[in-house]
Structure 1
């Protein structure tokens, strides 16, 4: 099949040096709900590869935002893939002509992640499943009740239900633009894609350096919802801080003790605090609600050195 091919600029070797040491051969499937050919998706893919991770993209052929955890049967395309990256009549699933690790599925985000976990991963990794599923970075925030409708969140949920540690990652800046624009460093979407990719590498460094894949990167049935604020006042990755949060504000909840409180802040209030905080919420994949204090505590222990009290 025909696909557009372009070289993407990787983030600097200085920013990635720690990731190379932490990554090893950790196997990651990356998906989203905005589509397989966005600048954000391909920038994240290239950043992870440059950092030493073994990565497969399995994402929708078209923008499928707002599909939540819906599923469908992938079908032959009755229109071109987004940004004309494959023609009308292309198969229900396909790959980039120059890189078989970059794949589309003409279905919903959950369908793409399931294909990545159960078909692509065993095929490309000699029978192995992924060690982690990264859903995102989504173009736009996914906060609170919005997560119930998010395909990015739905894909991360599906991975956790299938026993694969996962995270849904979203960024407030950027627009849905083609990966062919990613070499233009003057574009706001390129700048945000680069910064968010570096932030994700920082998160992975912290998570994986304190985790054994054999012992479990995250508690079973648990996933992370991560939101990056706008880059307007946070022009580089080193300007960001990290906060442990919860999906929903609930004064009656008892969370893990952190920052001298058993009530974690909700991610929405942290996101709009104006202090360049990236929020990390721990959620139960079965309920799509906040995980209990025990699960939060496991994540807190793994990420404690990364976190700052708001």
Structure 2
């Protein structure tokens, strides 16, 4: 099913959630700030907890937070500190460590502090600047942050998009918008629609996603012919299927899901893969079916 009109109606039915948002590109890039703004505007209670600087390619690695030797990206945080927040908004936080550390800091330290002891309902990682498909999955900090959240008991989705440029969040206020900012805002439209559908799913336990898995979502290049309203969602897998290890049967696929790389590069399609949060490889067909049932409101398409 193409189009976001039906998904937009789900916003009214979706619950307001406590969401931690992280990434691997850094806390000050336009992409994460645009997504933060969109989630807040949708009525969610959101805490941003991300690396002080670009930490792409760190996977799920973790290190202790260390004082910055110089100011971090876009001069957005001072030298000499290892953690900090926006002076006017304590919901916007950075830590001088890796993406998985940013997720953990948000879940274990910031959430109970800012939500009076309450835990997050969900973690959003990204949207990343650039795709994370196939062989990139174990090395992706975007996926690593989402995987750490799941390991800590918080369901998570990692979003990535084809756009390849990074720009400061200050560019969000500039008119006319740069190509980077336009892409960032378009991807937030898609990610927000996806989350609306996920949050409006029929009741299930555990909430939102099965334990131990994350969703890896890759968004296509957007242009005049592939707008957010035209993007179709396709259930995929990260790696080619192995013999004797069939996938869930959908779209008359005979138990063989397409790979996310093939799908997102074939046109106006977004890939949705169900990944083991620890190993970063595809899960089996029973867990794929569980997630497929939970995404009933998304309107998954065939390719």
Place the TM-score, normalised by the shorter chain, in its bin. Answer: over 0.9
Given candidates 267, 279, 284, the residue that maps to 2:276 is 284
Distance 1:149 1:202 in 2: 27
Q: Is the 8 A contact 2:201 2:296 kept in 1?
A: no
- The structural deviation recorded for 1:17 is 6.0
Q: Which runs of 5+ in 2 are unaligned?
A: none
Q: Is the 8 A contact 1:138 1:152 kept in 2?
A: yes
Aligned length, in residue pairs: 295
1:146 aligns with 2:146: no
Distance 1:182 1:16, change over 3 A: farther
Q: Is the 8 A contact 1:131 1:213 kept in 2?
A: no
Q: Is the 8 A contact 2:15 2:199 kept in 1?
A: no
1:72 aligns with 2:63: yes
- The structural deviation recorded for 1:87 is 2.1
TM-score (norm. length: structure 2): 0.93
1:236 aligns with 2:248: no
- The structural deviation recorded for 1:30 is 0.3
Deviates more, 1:32-41 or 1:212-221: 212-221
Higher RCO, 1 or 2 (CA under 8 Å, sep at least 6)? 2
- The structural deviation recorded for 1:287 is 1.8
Distance 1:142 1:193 in 2: 16
Given candidates 101, 118, 125, the residue that maps to 2:91 is 101
CA deviation string 1:180-233 (max 9, x = no partner): 111334311111111110101111111111144864110000100000011135
Distance 1:293 1:239 in 2: 28
Distance 2:47 2:105 in 1: 11
Q: Is the 8 A contact 2:83 2:96 kept in 1?
A: yes
* Corresponding residue of 1:182: 172
Deviates more, 1:255-264 or 1:54-63: 255-264
TM-score (norm. length: structure 1): 0.91
What CA RMSD, in Å, does the superposition of the two structures yield over aligned residues?
1.8
